Amino acid sequence: MATLTYLTTTHFDFGAIGQLPAELQKAGISKPFIATDQGVRAAGLVDAVTNTFGTGMELSLFDGTPGNPTEEAVMKAFDQYTADGCDGVIALGGGSSMDLGKAVALLAGSGGPLAQYDPLVGGGKLIKAVAPVIAVPTTAGTGSEVSVGFVIILDDGRKMTFASPLFIPKAAICDPELTMGLPAGMTAATGMDAVTHCIEAFLAPTINPPADGVALDGLWRGWRYLPTAVRDGQNREARWQMMMCSTEGALSFIKGLGAVHAMSHAAGRIKRLNLHHGTLNAVFLPAVLRFNEPESGDKYPRLRQAMGLKPDADIADAISEMNATIGLPRGLRAMGIEDADIPELVTYAKQDLSALSNPRRASDDDFEAMINQSL
């Protein structure tokens, strides 16, 4: 069992789920609210969690998290949290469930509405308290279990990123066993989410060498093991490494992310399509790598090194090849995006928190060009 003590306590290994009761107790949670979704429940993972409890543990189960968490779902969950007298959250699932859980914890500690906490307008100052959260990822993944942020589509359509050290879960329980049943498609999509976190965090211009180191280590692991994890979901080594890549990606994105995430968040708003965040990241990444290169100094050789590429290799090409290898779509059109979607994509990408830490400032035209290159 590796216990990593950075900003949070992370129990990481097969069997880590056994640490859950102790962490609940440490966090003072006696009536947990389990924030999850129907897929996780159907996969038997809610049972995996509750099987660790002794008899008599009261809990409130909410499995209504949609594919991309909405303010509506958060409010419904919060109403249940309040009605059931809960005192903390177990956020169990992929990024959507974990983010919904974090949002409920914020409302429980500081009250609504959500939008007031927008970090782009200094909303962090309004946070009074946050109910304790124990995060249990079932994908590899967003790394939300160790991150300062969560993303919710507000009622007014904005996909808002909330960020504060107060949102870091009290503990993260990273048990790769919970990902053994993750289908190949989800393994590929969430795996590329993790890889993208490592790359975008590393390229963000914020000075934080330890985070750079963590990002490159995560990239090294993820790049090596993703094809195996997709091809052979029962490969335990690959599942462990992908979860570590995911956790490291989120530990490192304390530096910020970039244009890939800005565009993925924008595209994630499109209701009719309900696109997966990880798949979008994978598809946008090559164009952004080409766009960023002139302003990324000595970083591209280190990326190549971490990925085991030749010194003259084109990293964007390598990403496209990986996407094809693991069965991700060739581009946005294959995912259902149409020309008519593009103007709004540009608008929302430009306002996204992640755009601020892209190494190269992107204008409306730049975003439009990158979107076109990703079609």
Among 14, 11, 5, which residue's Cα sits nearest to residue 238? Answer: 14
Beta carbons within 10 angstroms of residue 357's beta carbon: 20
Nearer to a second copy, 63 or 212 (CB): 212
What's the closest the beta carbon of residue 12 comes to a second copy, in angstroms? 8
Strand 88-93 and strand 149-153: the pairing is unpaired
Question: Residue 219: which residues within 8 A CB-CB, separation 6 or more?
Answer: 195, 198, 199, 202, 245, 303, 306, 307
Say how far apart CA 162 and CA 118 lie, in whole Å. Answer: 6
Helices marked H in 257-359 — which ranges? Answer: 259-268, 277-292, 299-307, 315-325, 342-351
What's the closest the beta carbon of residue 326 comes to a second copy, in angstroms? 22
Say how far apart CA 78 and CA 150 lie, in whole Å. Answer: 16
Nearer to a second copy, 6 or 53 (CB): 6
What's the closest the beta carbon of residue 165 comes to a second copy, in angstroms? 7
What's the closest the beta carbon of residue 354 comes to a second copy, in angstroms? 19
Nearer to a second copy, 249 or 268 (CB): 249
What is the distance, to the nearest Å, from the Cα of residue 260 to the centroid of all Cα atoms in its chain? 13
What's the closest the beta carbon of residue 221 comes to a second copy, in angstroms? 7
What's the closest the beta carbon of residue 373 comes to a second copy, in angstroms? 31
What's the closest the beta carbon of residue 235 comes to a second copy, in angstroms? 17
Both structure tokens of 3: 């216990």
Residues that bind a second copy (CB under 8 A): 2, 4-7, 12-13, 165, 206-218, 220-221, 244, 247-248, 251, 254, 302, 305
Nearer to a second copy, 196 or 247 (CB): 247
Question: Residue 274: which residues within 8 A CB-CB, separation 6 or more?
Answer: 66, 67, 68
Both structure tokens of 257: 């992310």
Q: DSSP assignment of 210-222, as one string? A: HHHHHHHHHHHHH
Q: Are 150 and 102 contacting, i.e. CB atoms less than 8 angstroms apart?
A: yes
Nearer to a second copy, 22 or 324 (CB): 22
Nearer to a second copy, 220 or 284 (CB): 220
What's the closest the beta carbon of residue 224 comes to a second copy, in angstroms? 10
What's the closest the beta carbon of residue 22 comes to a second copy, in angstroms? 18
Q: DSSP assignment of 72-114, as one string? A: HHHHHHHHHHHHTT--EEEEEESHHHHHHHHHHHHHHHH-S-G
Nearer to a second copy, 99 or 248 (CB): 248
Report the DSSP beta bridge partners of residue 32.
88
Nearer to a second copy, 193 or 248 (CB): 248
Say how far apart CA 29 and CA 139 lie, in whole Å. Answer: 24
Nearer to a second copy, 16 or 46 (CB): 16
